Amino acid sequence: MPYNLAERILVTGGSGFLGSHLCERLLANGAEVLCVDNFFTGTRGNVEHLLDHHRFELLRHDVTFPLYVEVDQIYNLACPASPVHYQHDPVQTTKTSVIGAINMLGLAKRLKVKILQASTSEIYGDPTTHPQSEEYWGNVNPIGPRSCYDEGKRCAETLFFDYRRQHGIPIKVARIFNTYGPRMHPNDGRVVSNFIVQALRGHDITIYGDGLQSRAFCYVDDLIDGLMRLMQSPDEVTGPLNLGNPHEITMRELAELTIELTGSRSKIVHRPLPQDDPRQRQPDISRAHAMLGWAPRTPLRQGLARTITYFEGMLTDSAGRYSQVSSTNPAARGLDLTVPAS
């Protein structure tokens, strides 16, 4: 999917986990990339290897404020995506999803360019249908501790489709399911990073509830491929489209696989399941497969091994010992990192 060298692509949230991989892939495909981030959850280190690239530009900016730039496409990925981060400042999380969407849609309207919204499987809430297809309207608690993210993303989807109906803006909406891989933050509270960090340090692996709740994990390279295919699809393909891996696994099975791949002696311990944590989450990706020719290709065992290698390099000090995580990231300091993520 090569880009014209003249194409300038804006990626909001571009120094985050997904955003940094997207910037990297866009550059490899010939685009000029403007990476915008306020560094609340993203880090400069995620894009440091791109800073000297002649087609890459990094701009510190919060999308809750208008942005005046000239670009040819917009990927709107800006928003903290793990509960430990988005619950830290829930009002700001909602503002980022809603006001950020309004500002980016306003920019797309002015420039008459295509814009993609990184939505989420969290719009389905604690689903009563399984697996979840795009026709399912969800089962979301509008006033719970996760609502800032769930309802913020639902409202952003509404705005995208209203801007299309009212102003004719070409939009794309991707509902992203659990994604993992290198550059996940070790303190983001997500289950994959939690399990890997605990296993590498030889700590007990914490499972919330009975461990039979299930998720489906997509490796980051596959997810980025899906986003780019969606962006480059015909204008009538608006979405929302589910992007994720339909292979389902229980938290207990994931913990056991992590212990096996790390060679850890960690034990599994259980803690109470928090409020509104979904019991099941699995995407129906038949629409993405039909419209984009897309399906994830990386087996969980292979992707998890790559992710473990990344964390080994991040956590190992010069003496070969696993060090404590330090961070200059404001979202990773002073937070309760026991909150489980979907």
Catalytic site positions: 149
What secondary structure letter does DSSP report for 78?
-
- Count helices and strands in the chain by DSSP H and E runs: 9, 13
Rg, Å, the chain Cα set:
19
Check: CB of residue 12 under 8 Å from CB of residue 22: no
Q: Quick one: angle between helices 220-231 and 17-28, nearest 10?
A: 60
> DSSP label at 285?
-
| Strand (E) or helix (H) holding 174 | strand 171-176
Stretch (H or E) spanning 257: helix 251-262
**Sequence-distant (≥ 6) Cβ neighbours of residue 208 within 8 angstroms:** 251, 270, 271, 272, 273, 274, 277, 340
Token reading at 205: 């692996």
Position 51: which residue type? L
Q: How far apart are CA 210 and CA 199, in angstroms?
A: 19
The set of long-range contacts for 316-325, using a CB threshold of 8 Å and a minimum separation of 24, is 322/200, 322/201, 322/202, 325/186, 325/187, 325/197
* Spatial separation of the C-alpha atoms in residues 31 and 1, rounded to whole Å: 11
Amino acid at 58: L
Peptide bond preceding 278: is omega within 30 degrees of 0, i.e. cis?
Answer: no
